[in-house]
Amino acid sequence: MATNTSNPPGPIVDLHVDTLSWLSRIPYRFDRFHKPWPISYLLRPNHVDLPRLKEAGVRFVWWGIVPNPLVPRPSKGVFKTLRYIHGLVEKHGEDLHLVQSSDDVETCLRLGKIGCVLTIEGGHALEGRLDMLERFREQGVRAMVLVHLTDNDLSPCSRKGRDGELTALGKEAVREMERIGVVVDVAHLPEKGIRQVSEMSRRPFVCSHGAMHSVCPHWRNLSDDSVRRIGDSGGLMGVFFIREWIRPDRKGTIQDAVNQLSRVKEVAGPAVPAIGSDFDGALRLALGIEDVRALPKLAASLSERGWDPETSDDAMGMNAIRFMRRFFREAP
Ligand SMILES: [Zn+2]
């Protein structure tokens, strides 16, 4: 559908927000307005709550659930958080809706509810057992980041000066995820691992949150080649707003988020850029992005840089909506 400047801004989708991961342990009223703090503290959310999501016009959030790598049974905490989130979505049923299928995507758009996509950030949640994937899937999980900040039995994580490959179990996990309809998320994977995923995958895969190495050469960021491969699969590259990692002098601003999105578009085409803020996962956000309410401002900054309204709407949400419609429709 064509858009023009007189149309309201399109729906916003954020592919990576960690807020709910902490809420089963930390007192934080998701349904109350919170003032943003200048610096976030680990495990103390403040970037996102329900009133601010509504104010910003966010339509879908991919909620990250972070398994604890230091305990013998990380899945326990994940199931606990999943139960908590299900309770939250039920309690706020007039505003929130769990997204498990393409029908759910349409329901959210029709009723103006915020679609909640449940994702796990770190394959150590599987505890080395692929059957765990199906159990998570039954609890509504629709995407998983293979590895987080520590190496696990699926893969080494990306780290300064080091590359690495998926393990045999990691490759099996990718196949199983594709089989049961869980999106493979390559955020935090080293370059070799991303290449492996692109070579073996049969379905689109994403990087839910990251940035372009060619704009800011940080070890956590992805090469142009990797982002092209994501695009070739029909996937998405979500750009995060981590101040230190989107600009070489570590003083990233909202304009650097625009630079990052522009580079994704240049390298992989207009169907690939997406938003993956890392709200309440990032310690410090780009200047000009205090909290989730900055997302419409980001859309405005894209237009100021000459993005046409349609392409800007695509990056802010429509690319992700098309991806979800497609991916969640195909029967696993
Ligand atoms: Zn992350």
What is the four-CA torsion angle of 199, 203, 207, 208, rounded to 10 degrees?
-170
Q: How many folded domains does the chain comprise?
A: 1
Using one digit for the tens of pLDDT, what is the confidence trace for 55-65?
999 999 999 99
Residue 3 falls inside a structural domain: no
For residue 5, what pLDDT band results from cuts at 50, 70 and 90? very low
Q: Identify which of 272, 204, 193, 198 has the alpha carbon closest to the alpha carbon of residue 238.
A: 272
Residue 2 falls inside a structural domain: no
Residue 187 falls inside a structural domain: yes
Separation of alpha carbons 2 and 11, rounded Å: 14
Q: Identify which of 241, 271, 272 has the alpha carbon closest to the alpha carbon of residue 258.
A: 241
Contacts 24+ apart (CB under 8 A), 137-142: 137/180, 137/181, 137/182, 139/79, 139/82, 139/86, 140/82, 140/86, 140/98, 140/100, 141/65, 141/82, 141/182, 142/99, 142/100, 142/117, 142/118, 142/181, 142/182, 142/183, 142/328
For residue 37, what pLDDT band results from cuts at 50, 70 and 90? confident
Instruction: Give residue 67 CA to ligand 1 midpoint distance, Å.
Output: 12
Instruction: Give residue 157 CA to ligand 1 midpoint distance, Å.
Output: 11
In this structure, the strands spanning 114-121 and 237-239 are unpaired
Instruction: Give residue 190 CA to ligand 1 midpoint distance, Å.
Output: 13
Using one digit for the tens of pLDDT, what is the confidence trace for 177-217?
999 999 999 999 999 999 999 999 999 999 999 999 999 99
Is the pTM here over 0.85, yes or no?
Answer: yes
Residue 5 falls inside a structural domain: no
Separation of alpha carbons 98 and 188, rounded Å: 26
Separation of alpha carbons 91 and 93, rounded Å: 6
Say whether pLDDT at 1 is over 50. no
Residue 42 falls inside a structural domain: yes
The enclosing domain of 46 has a CATH number of 3.20.20.140
Residue 4 falls inside a structural domain: no
pLDDT score, position 4:
45
* Residue pair 160/149 in contact by the 8 Å Cβ criterion: no
- Neighbouring residues of 12: CB distance < 8 A, sequence distance ≥ 6: 56, 57, 58, 59, 275, 295, 296, 299, 316, 317
Instruction: Give residue 277 CA to ligand 1 midpoint distance, Å.
Output: 10
Residue 7 falls inside a structural domain: no
pLDDT score, position 25:
83
Instruction: Give residue 111 CA to ligand 1 midpoint distance, Å.
Output: 30
For residue 312, what pLDDT band results from cuts at 50, 70 and 90? very high
Residue 21 falls inside a structural domain: yes
Domain that holds residue 294: 12-329
Q: What are phi and psi of 292, to 5 degrees?
A: -60, -25
Instruction: Give residue 189 CA to ligand 1 midpoint distance, Å.
Output: 10
Crossing angle between the packed helical segments 295-304 and 254-268, to the nearest 10 degrees: 60
Instruction: Give residue 213 CA to ligand 1 midpoint distance, Å.
Output: 16
Instruction: Give residue 1 CA to ligand 1 midpoint distance, Å.
Output: 33
Q: Identify which of 44, 4, 2 has the alpha carbon closest to the alpha carbon of residue 279.
A: 44
Q: What is the mean pLDDT of the chain?
A: 94
Instruction: Give residue 39 CA to ligand 1 midpoint distance, Å.
Output: 17
Using one digit for the tens of pLDDT, what is the confidence trace for 206-257?
999 999 999 999 999 999 999 999 999 999 999 999 999 999 999 999 999 9
pLDDT score, position 44:
77
Instruction: Give residue 278 CA to ligand 1 midpoint distance, Å.
Output: 7
Instruction: Give residue 188 CA to ligand 1 midpoint distance, Å.
Output: 7
